Chain A
Amino acid sequence: MKIRLSYSKIGKIRFLGHLDTAHLWERAFRKAKLGVAVSAGFTPRPKLSFGLALPTAGESLVEVLDVVLDPAPSGERDIDDLAPRLSAVMPAGVVVTGAWVAGPQSIQEDVVATTWVLAIDRPAVEVQSRAAELVAAPEIWIERERKGERRHDDIRPGIFELRTDFDPSVLPADWRSEVSASALVEAVVTTSGRGVRPTELVDALFPGDEPWNVMSRVIRTHQWIERTDAPCAPFSVRARKELSHEQRIAVG
């Protein structure tokens, strides 16, 4: 039985990279005295699989991992118990928000898009107009590195939504107050292939600046799962609605 866990990662702990976070989970299961099944073979590995990598310094309300427990949970009560048990052994800033029995698909296959909220340290009007310009642009070329090579890519097809007027109520109050001086941008971007990273969005919004000088914080608020084969058209509100009617990974 594969259990899917969702968790948030907010605050200082955001500086812990993806691999280190994976190791942290391995230790957390042992601390919580939850056995993790291991693969067969000469070098047994714990049956844990992690979703999309969260960039170091990025925060999130919705990270996911799949785990096969051994012994398996014996009922719903056991499963409901997992979140508090694991939260208790995690460092401050990591809170397990949900646990449920996962379907056959892997997390990586399931997730097609992700929503980010970026806190940008630029005047709000400037951010609004830059965002509008990007939405109107047919192509957005940025330079990025792939396998050690610099290359130019058009990231426009990977940007589904980009807006400054959105409902911020999903964001934790603490987080909002910490970024109160910044302008917020919400972006829905593709995760397939190379994906579009928050720093690349900043690069597109304010070319030439070191992205982390422009963006003080960035938080993932949703991961989208697609159950139909409907393509996601860039910036189509319909696409988002289509995604929304499918399973939306539980938020805090």
Chain B
Amino acid sequence: MTSLWSRVEPLLARVRKPARYIGCEDGAIEPRHGQGKVAWLLAYPDVYEVGLPNQGLQILYEILNERPDAVAERTYAPWVDLEALMRERGIPLFSVDTHRAAGDFDVIAFNLSAELVYTNVLNMLDLGGIPVHTARREPTDPVVVVGGHAAFNPEPLADFIDAAVLGEGEEVVGEINEVVRAWKASGRTSREGLWRELARIPGVYVPCLYDVVYEGERTVSITPRFADVPATVTKRTVSDLAQWDYPRRPLAPLTEVVHDRLAVEVFRGCTRGCRFCQAGMITRPVRERPADQVRTMITRGLERTGYNEVSLTSLSTADFSGIEDVVSSIVPDPTACGAPTVSLPSLRVDAFTVGLAAKVASGRRSGLTFAPEAGTWRLRKVINKLITEADLYGAVESAFANGWSRTKLYFLTGLPTETDDDTRGIAELAAGCVAIGKKYTSRASVTVSLGGFVPKAHTPFQWFGQNGVDELQRKINLVRGAASRGVQVKWHDPRASLAEGLASRGDRRVGRVIERVWRDGGTFQEWSEFFVLDRWLDAAAAEGLPVEWFTTRHRTDDELLPWEHLSAGLHRDFLWDDWRASLDEHGLPDCRWTPCYDCGVCTGDGLEHVVASPVPPAGGSQGTGQDLALGGDVPVVVRV
């Protein structure tokens, strides 16, 4: 294995932001390659600034490098300018740590946090000189693995990967390492032998070991090809976060990245039960990190990185039992380096939460973001985001009263049962927020950010036919037309939502569409300057696949979904009943503090919620004031 640095170096003065490619970050680990070790290349299929902060990748980087039988380096998608120069000169994809060629690694593991990056996965493999089709790879080629949230429906990538990992990676990477090490030691004979061994690891899915039969558009069967290959692959879950205080040496980049601060994960999982939210469904149950450990990770992380800002991450940080305790213990550093700023992403919409944010905010209060997600209480019951108008106005009032002058509201449009009244309700809520703000400052402004809803696998909305481009655009225009003075409306391109829908709920045949889009030059599809919907539509047409069948069509209970053999632990019946309940506008309370409604995750996995507090945090369930101690309203009939 040799470094490509001497060939890469002369190109860097000619490309934008060359610091993306030099490594040298704080926390970077000097890799020690050697005989008998499995060499991993951890790959993020988007540009460095987006990929570097990714916590999953940082955690695995450290865990693997701590093993005596493994070594891990990192790579990110080279930006188009460098890629062009590399292809011109035949320089393959390289790691940023020691600039080794991708093909010199035993395993390439991609982190998939979104679906539109799939074309970049193919591009990076190809740039690495690795055949994009699994079937064409030789035993000497690296093993291609994917993980991350999008890997819960890896079917569109089935032809291009050796394996997908469902769920959390801390434990399973070690098991994969053992299998690959044994395979290497035995002389790397056939790939099929490796696949069979990988498929025996819980949570590891090897697509080529399953036969999928289609009739017309429909999937009719998904069958393991061998008796020892599981009919259903179930996700992996780390039961106790306290045992995994990673990253211990967080990566602090030299160049500016999207989340340029220390991140400390305070809990995993969320049982708020928002029906549109894939993350909330697939990461259950809730597992909190002990408050003491959070404090240690903050102190240690700030010291090592020199950051003066820490973000306490989770899907809803104000729900962390120890939140007030942790926040109040972050005091000014005695060495006069000043008190670190604490940022709380994913704020719950209530006044308590804003009070908390005010306590930790630094002098400058630019903007505060809330996500009511839908414009009316009716629709919020449909999506189970149980925030009343009073909650939102209370939160906004508190924000302006505490010195913030800008608020940003996130909404989804194109939700199930959404009427034009619901859509216009977005503008009305925003107008209400501006009116509150004007009481405090003439500079009060409210930004509405609209995203087109894309249904995801393993959620109650997986059966819902998403809105098409025209319908989403019409709804966006409705909000824009109804927006009053002081309200700024921003929106996500509805065309990108359609392509995302195709990749999110696609089956194996959609892989051919992804390949065509990539071959046609469609990389960096998350970037508006490179996204062209026609590429996707033309590719689907060329493959004879009707896009609307995958995207805007409602599914029925009897349909075999392409990810039916993959499980996030949620009972299919629970998801279906929750879907029906949503159409009846029934909400479902948070099961952390109410009796279990058996979604399947805890009972199936022998897990339980790890929550330090037996009562809901101040502010109640999402600030609704619902008396959850009395059991609340559980309208969903769950068949077990």
Contacts and interface: CB of A to CB of B under 8 A. Distances in A.
Interface of A: 12-13, 15-17, 19-20, 23-24, 26-31, 33-35, 38, 42-44, 56-57, 70-71, 89, 91-93, 210, 212-213, 216
Contact of A27 (B10, B305, B336): B305
Nearest to B306: A27
B13 A28 contact: no
Nearest to B5: A12
Contacts, number: 77
Given A27-B307, A31-B303, A42 B363 contact: yes
A91 B24 CA distance: 7
Interface stretch (B221-229, B249-257, B411-419): B249-257
Given A16-B254, A30-B306, A91-B26, A35 B337 contact: yes
Interface residues of B, number: 30
Q: For chain B, what secondary structure do more than half of its interface residues adopt (helix, strand, loop), or is it mixed?
A: loop
A30 B337 contact: yes
A33 B337 contact: yes
Given A24-B254, A30-B308, A57-B13, 17 more contacts: A15-B19, A15-B22, A20-B19, A20-B256, A26-B306, A27-B307, A29-B337, A30-B337, A35-B335, A35-B336, A35-B337, A42-B364, A56-B18, A57-B12, A89-B306, A212-B13, A216-B10
A56 to B, nearest CB: 7
Contacts of A57: 12-13, 18
B14 interface: yes
Nearest to B16: A56
Nearest to B21: A15
Contact of B363 (A20, A30, A43): A43
Q: Which of A27, A29, A213 has the largest count of B CB atoms less than 10 A from its CB?
A: A27
The 4 closest A-B pairs by CB, nearest first: A27-B306, A35-B336, A57-B13, A15-B18
A43 B341 CA distance: 13
Nearest to B336: A35
Interface string B20-34: 011111100000000
Nearest to A43: B364
B306 A71 contact: no
A16 B10 CA distance: 15
B363 A44 contact: yes
A24 B135 CA distance: 46
B443 interface: no
Contacts of A213: 14
Nearest to A121: B10
Nearest to B6: A178
24 contacts: A12-B24, A13-B22, A15-B13, A15-B22, A16-B19, A16-B255, A17-B255, A19-B256, A20-B19, A20-B254, A23-B256, A27-B305, A27-B306, A29-B306, A30-B306, A30-B337, A31-B303, A42-B364, A43-B363, A44-B363, A56-B13, A70-B336, A71-B336, A212-B10
Contacts of B10: 212, 216
Interface string B366-378: 0000000000000
